[in-house]
Structure 1
Amino acid sequence: MAGAIRATRPVGTVTRGTTNPNRLRRVDRWVVHTHGRLLRNAADPVVVDLGYGAHPVTTVELHTRLAAVRPDVRVVGLEIDQARVAAAAPHEDPPHLAFALGGFEVPVPGGGSPVLIRAFNVLRQYDEGQVEAAWSRLVGRLAPDGALVEGTCNELGRLGSWVDVRRGVDGRPDPRSLTLSWRLRDIETPSAVAERLPKVLIHRNVPGERVHDLMGDLDAAWARAAGHAPYGARQRFLATVADLQTRGWPVLGTRHRWRLGELEIAWAAVAPAD
């Protein structure tokens, strides 16, 4: 991809800042399940929440959820708007929860490299060509074996998606998977999640792209699973996931995750065609 994030300090552009309590509950739940071991084994359990918005509620919630896995976790919320940092200050709980001025350069007060970076609803306002540069900056700040979770969701967090990105052996971003998430009882057609795909994929939902194939196969499998509807949306979704597997989609995770309305697909199966 072409393009780059302008090298300023802090690096980035102010987001709209909208947020709601529990908006990021679904991705946080996935982070705890998927990266809980990483957090438990970390010598320095630093986690960064990049671009938390006009109110720090989702950063506070992130700390609460991660502390259940690692009580001494240190969560740092970063914003490039000084007014937002000042507004968050009353919610600090040193040394466990702090807020600071920063962007894609990911400064960590007190030092250290984050084992996890959550960047949600941050890149939506950027051009697709800027994603790789942003990912590169972020994974460059990760601790060894660390992970970047970058994605987007709707205003209430009931529909969303995210990419699990690591640092490859060459230092470049190495995306591992795409996770799609729905509140199951809200599903009319699963492809509605396309409007909340990460920036790297949202403009790729067109013929000839693999993510477009996924959206089509999701809707077709959901339609074929209509006979399960009397037993509830969960049973219909489980049948939909099983259908996708039989058609060769590399579905990750377990039945427990699917029951929660999560579908994780290996990145190679959905990566942009060029």
Structure 2
Amino acid sequence: MSNNFPPQKQDRLPGRETEMNPPAEFIREDYRGSGKLAGKVALITGGDSGIGRAAAIHFAREGADVAIVYFDEHDDAAEAKRLVEAEGRRCIIIPGDVRDSAFCKAAVDETVKSLGGLHVLVNNAGHQVVQTRLEDITDEQWETTFAINIHGYFYMARAALEHLSPGSSIINTTSINSFVGNAMLVDYTSTKGAIDGFTRSLSQQLIERDIRVNQVAPGPIWTPLQPASIGQHDPQKVASLGSEMPMGRAGQPSELGPAYVYLASNDSSYVSGQTIHVNGGKVVNG
């Protein structure tokens, strides 16, 4: 597998899956579900595209019903819903802004009402804007990045806890950047460091309730966030995405989905407060 991305950009955040060239891969044809999540309900923020869509499809193939929370990418969300339903599972899509705590509670409540419960929360919605100088990060950019990337995780987790029972799982999406740093993404990287601390602290608090909290740390993955952020800064950087990793390429969302299945299922019953690094071979020791 190798990169085959032409230089490109998208002119709005969040990015759109429908504008990706080439399209991303969300699940491999040879992935065989085995009922690991049968009877479960999962809520996934940012589930319309990229890593979130991959998690949704993998969860569905493993037997879960899925609620997808997204911002305003209605076509992407409709396609994600179609793909989940093609796996024979129920799916609802919920548009809204995770920066709003009231919306997060309403999304959780709608999930429980429509799908009959909640067992897995995946906090995945994310926002990043490239700035190569700290002085160019405005107050608005800094506050927006934190509001989406970490405040939304807190709001969703707090709302979900009322409904999560022993054996349930919270999975947060962090990033390789919080472990190695990224000169172009200081605010984004800072939020991912906050997610690391949130995951570890919450895991300790919820152990007594038998609710596991873990995180996945992707490296460079072919998602709409890349052309919509890095591509706006320099479309050529999209063409070389992931070339600096030991494997020499970017990953596909399909290569992330199984990590979320593991953390959502009983296979990880002795795992909490931990990070799965899916980054193309970069050793980060964290």
Normalising to structure 1: TM-score of the pair? Answer: 0.41
Higher gyration radius (CA): 1
Higher relative contact order (CA 8 A, sep 6+): 2
- Normalized per residue, the structure richer in strand is 1
